Amino acid sequence: MIKIGVLSEDQNSNIAVLIPHNIKQLKNQAEFYIQKNTGLTSGYTDSLYEEAGAKILSSRDELINQSDIVLSFNPPLSEEVPYGNKTFIGAYDVLNSYHANILPFQKNGVNVFSLNLLPRTTIAQSMDILSSMSSMLGYKAVIIASTLSPVTLPMITGAGGTLKPANVLVLGAGVAGLQAIATAKRLGAIVKAFDVRKVAKIDVESLGAQFIDIEGAVDQQNAGGYAVEQEVDYLQKIEQVLFEEAVKADIIITTAKIPGKKAPLLITKKIIDNMKNGAVIIDLAADTGGNSVFTKKDETITTKNGVVIVGDTNLLAKIAKPTSFLIANNFTSFLTYYLKNNSKENDEILTATNVIRNGKLINQKIIQEIEQL
């Protein structure tokens, strides 16, 4: 029977890519090894994994050596270690960091699959780890913003009078943006949203928010539902419209990303200089440069005019238990598919997610990105 190992993440991640419930689902298809304390920060003790049928191993190297397939959330290899014929499956950010996230795998001569590269197809929907992560990020962004903001999100009426609801502006209406919109609306805020993709208007308005329509966007149908880079003239038009909206906002959630590219700059110095004292920006694109000109990765800063800008790239760790539940189900779905279809040639899902085969970089999407560096 094939042997599958699950590595624990560093203290900054806290995500468990399989939880005990998933071990029970898969235990007839594989033997499972869990590195000690893998699920502890997500609320799943070693004893729960053992009850589900897994074996706990203390050593990282022992787990990798015992396993045929190794699962992890972040890339587990930082140096050349001869692990031999192993397959690593994770949520590796292979589009944005070749030297840190791909090169160590090549040196080890292993096989690598990254769920970040899943195609947007119906059959892959249950494996869509990016949607799971984005949904949790959108939710948490609003919760954090609500605690940092000096205003109340809902309208509150009492003996002392009436407090107006907060004005929330969401930039980017993908999964994270839509979840941010939904969360802010549930909390009672007035919400507006912008996205370069016209198709997003229907989703935004279905959640009760107002869509900011700016004509002239490049909207490619073959972009898999993601935003694409825009022309300079259109970006200038965006800046003017966003200036008018941002100066009225109490909270701004920015989520705009372009796969494999630097995040588009949407919140300029001019905009921030004219925002309200106490306004809050949660920049969910901080890991790829940020949508705000003053965003600092993994820092929270306050500008001279009192605007708070949060560039935390580790929000998922702050909600590790629900995030682990969703991501573990994605991994389980992918594993089930992998074990059933790995022997097939040119499988759409496995071809799209296979980054390295026997130490050789084979993923054409990644190769093209590297060539453009």
How much is the pLDDT for 41?
87
Per-residue confidence at 373, pLDDT binned at 50, 70, 90? low
Active site includes 120? yes
Domain count, the chain: 2
- Given 29, 98, 226, 234, the catalytic residue: 226
Place of tokens 């605690």: 147
Q: Where are the alpha helices (DSSP H) in 247-319?
A: 269-273
Q: Give rounded-to-5 percent helix, strand, coil for the chain.
A: 40, 15, 45
Q: Which domain holds residue 331?
A: 3-127+321-371
Active site includes 92? no
How much is the pLDDT for 81?
56
* Position 337 pLDDT exceeds 80: yes
Task: Count CB neighbours of 286 within 10 A.
Answer: 24
Active site includes 131? yes
User: Do 352 and 302 lie in a common domain?
Assistant: no
Q: What are phi and psi of 52, to 5 degrees?
A: -80, -15
User: Do 158 and 259 lie in a common domain?
Assistant: yes
User: Do 26 and 164 lie in a common domain?
Assistant: no
Active site includes 219? no
Measured CA to CA, the distance from residue 249 to residue 210 in angstroms comes to 13
User: Do 297 and 341 lie in a common domain?
Assistant: no
User: Do 306 and 327 lie in a common domain?
Assistant: no
Active site includes 125? yes
* Position 198 pLDDT exceeds 90: no
- Given 29, 46, 98, 120, the catalytic residue: 120
- Given 128, 250, 287, 312, the catalytic residue: 128
CA distances from 115 to 28, 68, 327 (A): 23, 18, 10
- Given 35, 42, 131, 149, the catalytic residue: 131
Which of 273, 290, 313 represents a domain boundary (last residue)?
A: 313
Asked if residue 193 lies in contact with residue 171, where contact means CB atoms within 8 angstroms, the answer is yes
CATH at residue 328? 3.40.50.720
Let me know if residue 342 belongs to a domain: yes
* Position 233 pLDDT exceeds 90: no
pLDDT, tens digit, 9 for 90 and up, residues 237-290:
888 899 999 999 999 999 998 877 889 899 999 999 999 999 999 999 999 999
Place of tokens 């990020």: 137
* Position 86 pLDDT exceeds 70: yes
User: Do 165 and 82 lie in a common domain?
Assistant: no
User: Do 97 and 169 lie in a common domain?
Assistant: no
Q: What is the pTM of this model?
A: 0.90
Let me know if residue 165 belongs to a domain: yes
Which of 289, 313, 337 represents a domain boundary (last residue)?
A: 313
How much is the pLDDT for 280?
98
Residue whose C-alpha is closest to residue 319's, from 141, 179, 200, 152: 141
User: Do 88 and 183 lie in a common domain?
Assistant: no
Residue whose C-alpha is closest to residue 272's, from 311, 305, 239: 305
Residue whose C-alpha is closest to residue 315's, from 129, 91, 187, 142: 142
Q: What are phi and psi of 53, to 5 degrees?
A: 115, 10
User: Do 89 and 170 lie in a common domain?
Assistant: no
